[in-house]
A and B are shown apart, each in its own frame.
Chain A
Amino acid sequence: GAGVSQSPRYKVTKRGQDVALRCDPISGHVSLYWYRQALGQGPEFLTYFNYEAQQDKSGLPNDRFSAERPEGSISTLTIQRTEQRDSAMYRCASSPNAGPNSDNEQFFGPGTRLTVL
């Protein structure tokens, strides 16, 4: 596809369950970012990758959150033992290059709306 895709678009789960959110970046894009956006707030940085290497995970709230991008393309954000406070929109973005240059706009996916009951 032409843009960043995410699946599922909506996920409802019960507290305590694990969830895996998938991001399929634009083909060939080097960098991939995960954000969380609560209602009425701006996106909050979680982590990012260049190729398969996780460069910064300082935004992950706690050790229940993890992310991987094993082959430098698709990425999975996993939340273990979900809690109600994890409910939010989880957004993925990709950019063509690593580092700052004129091509390094981040293209955002549509997001996965996670609801933890």
Chain B
Amino acid sequence: AQKVTQAQTEISVVEKEDVTLDCVYETRDTTYYLFWYKQPPSGELVFLIRRNSFDEQNEISGRYSWNFQKSTSSFNFTITASQVVDSAVYFCALSEGITGGFKTIFGAGTRLFVKA
């Protein structure tokens, strides 16, 4: 069965600090997809990244970077030089399925507070 664990419920940092949000997943499929979404205080869900199980290359996008390690079933998200606007709830998600669309399971989220 699928499972996504975000052990950090809340994290509080001071602006310009780096912060890493942890995500550990469980799946029996060899083909799966991992995602990160951001939910700012306004409530919408904003897609950040999608990674498939065959691509373990880490990715950097501006101040955001993602570290995918199949050996530890982790897909961690790092924000470098955090800013107040990064304050939000961040969700990690997992999808299994090869054809016909896929069911996505979300973690419980990590609430990030960035203080000025």
Contacts and interface: CB of A to CB of B under 8 A. Distances in A.
Interface in A86-117: 89, 91, 93, 95, 98-100, 104-108, 110-111
A30 B104 CA distance: 16
Contacts of A89: 43
Contact of A42 (B43, B52, B99, B108): B108
Contacts of A58: 103
B99 to A, nearest CB: 5
A28 interface: no
- Residue among A58, A107, A108 with max Cβ neighbours from chain B (10 Å): A108
Contacts, number: 70
Contact of B106 (A30, A42, A48, A56): A42
B100 A50 contact: yes
A98 B104 CA distance: 13
Contact of A43 (B33, B101, B106): B106
A43 B45 contact: yes
Nearest to A46: B103
A62 interface: no
A33 interface: yes
Nearest to A93: B45
Given A41-B108, A42-B107, A91-B45, A98 B91 contact: no
Given A41-B108, A42-B108, A105-B50, A59 B103 contact: yes
A42 B91 CA distance: 7
A99 B43 contact: no
Given A100-B33, A100-B52, A105-B50, A95 B101 contact: yes
A44 interface: yes
Given A42-B106, A45-B104, A48-B103, A100 B44 contact: no
Interface string A28-59: 00110101000011111100111000011011
Interface of B: 4, 31, 33, 37, 43-45, 47, 50, 52, 91, 93, 95, 97-109
Interface of A: 30-31, 33, 35, 40-45, 48-50, 55-56, 58-59, 89, 91, 93, 95, 98-100, 104-108, 110-111
